[in-house]
Structure 1
Amino acid sequence: MTLIGLDVGGTTMKAALVDGSEVLATESRPTDRTDPVGGILDFAAHLSSRAASLGSPARAAGIALPGIVDEATGTAVHSANLGWRDVPILHLAREHLGIPVAIGHDVRTGGLAEAVLGAGRDAGDFVFMAIGTGIAAALILNGTPYPGTVGWSGEIGHVVVRPNGEDCACGNKGCLETYASAAAISRRYGDSVPAEEVIARAGRNEERAAGVWSDALDTLADGLAATTLLLDPALLVIGGGLAKAGDALLKPLESRLTTRLKFRAPPRMLLTELDDQAAVNGATILARRLLDA
């Protein structure tokens, strides 16, 4: 029973063809910023064709999307990074593929995978925060992502951490995402240097890199402190591309969070166990559940 799991990021789309516990193939391609919906549908169709060529046609697909997602109706409501609004992606994907399709929010889907397979599998309730091209979080309650009333939960990247600060793509100023996402770290450093290299240069005490990285850590700690005080989670799981920084991210972030929580201990903080494949894994879980229902 081959399943398609597809994770759409602001920069890259990642996918896997899975049969039970066996990964038959993995692929990635750049996200088409000029026609993101067409790019998603074309990639999904390619994955379906590849499954057929492997002798195991796909039975169902799960697609994880960024931005605001109404999972109940399968609508891509809004993405500041990709510029779409109210796209009936579930209808389009079903029509394009001819198989059952499940639509999920990328970070909630990643949080689901961490709850089932990863760092949160023994936690029950926890917060999963993905730091990549953008920043978002998922509140996991008893192993299940909480979407909010219409799918707007988890937009921590657009919490204002620096009032009247830098402009954000969402139209506000001083959002967490404008300081601490991988894209923001690269942009704020300049010279087209990727975030991972900025972090490496900060580790070598380069002044400009250290300043950008310190701002990112401070704003992340501000956002997580507010999250902790509001939700009282037992665990924070950090994922997304920036989690590849490992202890260079985790250790200073733990320290900064502790200093911001004056009257309580901080929750445990762990890095993802599923790396940047969390949402791909979650998408295959959503696809499997369609067939199990």
Structure 2
Amino acid sequence: MTAAVIAADLGGTYTKFGVVAEDGQLLSSDKQPTPVASGPIGLVEWLAQELGRRGEAAGVDRFGVAVPGIIDERHGVVVIAPNVGWKDIRLTELLEQLSGLSGVVTHDVRAGGVAERKVGAGAGADDMMFIPIGTGVAAAIVVDGRMLVADGYAGEIGHTPVAAAGDNVCACKQVGCLETVLSGPGLRREYHRRAGIELADAPHPEVLGRRARDGDKLSRRVIETAALGLGQALVPAITLCGPERIVIGGGVSGLFDLITPTVESYLDDTLTFQRRPKLVLAKLGSQAGVVGAGLTGWATA
């Protein structure tokens, strides 16, 4: 068998596949539309078929799969993954039975954290956080060189209540979650609210960033609110976990240059005895999840 792992980063729209070497090198990669409409079991069967086919073609007998949601990695169970319709699915067991390969299932953000720590912007840090900002906001937290998992419940920083979010109601039913102002949809809703326009007409993050850099005051205020919220959520996280480095990734990380000054200023004004972490931009981009899924497959081989 080839010294590699078949990796998959499952998303609600697309699934990224790759062949990952033990050192984290992505030997090949592609993506396929995720057939969510085939139903929960149909999706498991499709994923197993893809893993098996790719494993046979590459001469690989092991997989690593990253899934969004609450993932009990120790037992290989997807507790809930709303984006793909899974609940209480013994995914590792099913994929092994159907694909003929052995492997492991992990959380997509923790997979990204594994990748950024080994071969990305977090390399060399034993205490770090990886925070991808996209449709949602979560964190992979490494303390003393070990990833915090807590049966899949660790790292939900996007659901930290922050003053900057006011009385915004989150999809999780809590009020004032960070995610309501910092995520891609959150940024758009905040612009929509302040501008008094239709939500469908609110700019996407990359457009918002371009307008802010061109001097648009409303766009700047929306981004500054998001950045303030991030700073407010980071203070308790830093106090509890003591990271030396915080790696910012995800689709909204294109606003890193606009978000970071406000976050840095807030941390400088608020932290006292805590270790002051360095904020850095992720290096692996959209490939972090698939690389991390492969590395997790290697780590548990």
TM-score, structure 2 normalization: 0.84
Q: CA deviation at 1:193?
A: 3.1
Cα distance 1:123–1:20, how it changes in 2: closer, same or farther (>3 A)?
closer
Q: Among residues 132, 135, 146, which one is paired with 2:134 in the alignment?
A: 132
Task: In structure 2, give the amino acid aligned to 1:220.
Answer: L
Q: CA deviation at 1:37?
A: 6.4
In structure 1, distance between residues paired with 2:55 and 2:188: 37
Q: CA deviation at 1:30?
A: 4.5
Task: In structure 2, give the amino acid aligned to 1:177.
Answer: E
Pair 1:203-2:207 in alignment: no
Task: Name the structure with the higher helix share.
Answer: 2
Q: CA deviation at 1:266?
A: 2.7
In structure 2, distance between residues paired with 1:45 and 1:226: 43
Counting aligned pairs with the same residue, the percent is 34
Which residue of the partner structure matches residue 42 of structure 1? 46
Question: Does the aligned pair in 2 maintain the 1:80–1:170 contact within 8 Å?
Answer: no
Which residue of the partner structure matches residue 158 of structure 1? 159
Q: Among residues 18, 22, 26, which one is paired with 1:23 in the alignment?
A: 26
TM-score, structure 1 normalization: 0.86
Question: Alpha-carbon deviations, 1:169-212, whole Å to 9, x = none?
Answer: 21212111111112322343332632222222222232332232
Pair 1:252-2:262 in alignment: yes
In structure 2, distance between residues paired with 1:30 and 1:172: 32
Task: In structure 1, give the amino acid aligned to 2:53.
Answer: S
Question: Alpha-carbon deviations, 1:126-151, whole Å to 9, x = none?
Answer: 12212121111122123321112x22
Which residue of the partner structure matches residue 170 of structure 2? 168
* More displaced stretch, 39-48 vs 192-201: 39-48
Cα distance 1:42–1:111, how it changes in 2: closer, same or farther (>3 A)?
same
Cα distance 1:215–1:79, how it changes in 2: closer, same or farther (>3 A)?
farther
Please identify runs of 4+ aligned residues in structure 1 that moved more than 6 A.
none
* More displaced stretch, 84-93 vs 58-67: 84-93
* More displaced stretch, 106-115 vs 253-262: 253-262
Question: Does the aligned pair in 1 maintain the 2:8–2:66 contact within 8 Å?
Answer: yes
Question: Equivalent residue of 1:169, what SS?
Answer: coil
In structure 1, distance between residues paired with 2:246 and 2:147: 14
In structure 2, distance between residues paired with 1:141 and 1:70: 19
Cα distance 1:175–1:110, how it changes in 2: closer, same or farther (>3 A)?
same
Q: CA deviation at 1:66?
A: 1.5
Question: Equivalent residue of 2:152, what SS?
Answer: coil
Within 5 Å, give how 1:225-236 maps onto structure 2: 225-236=235-246
Q: CA deviation at 1:43?
A: 4.5
Q: Among residues 14, 17, 21, which one is paired with 2:16 in the alignment?
A: 14
Question: Does the aligned pair in 1 maintain the 2:11–2:34 contact within 8 Å?
Answer: yes
Which residue of the partner structure matches residue 269 of structure 1? 279
Q: Among residues 89, 92, 100, which one is paired with 1:90 in the alignment?
A: 92
Structure 1 gap ranges (5+):
none
* More displaced stretch, 282-291 vs 31-40: 31-40
Pair 1:217-2:221 in alignment: no
Cα distance 1:279–1:68, how it changes in 2: closer, same or farther (>3 A)?
same
Q: Among residues 62, 78, 81, which one is paired with 2:80 in the alignment?
A: 78
Q: CA deviation at 1:270?
A: 1.3
Q: RMSD across aligned C-alpha pairs, in angstroms?
A: 2.6
Cα distance 1:246–1:161, how it changes in 2: closer, same or farther (>3 A)?
closer
Question: Does the aligned pair in 2 maintain the 1:4–1:48 contact within 8 Å?
Answer: no
Question: Does the aligned pair in 2 maintain the 1:68–1:151 contact within 8 Å?
Answer: yes
* More displaced stretch, 76-85 vs 63-72: 76-85
Structure 2 gap ranges (5+):
192-198
Q: CA deviation at 1:49?
A: 2.4
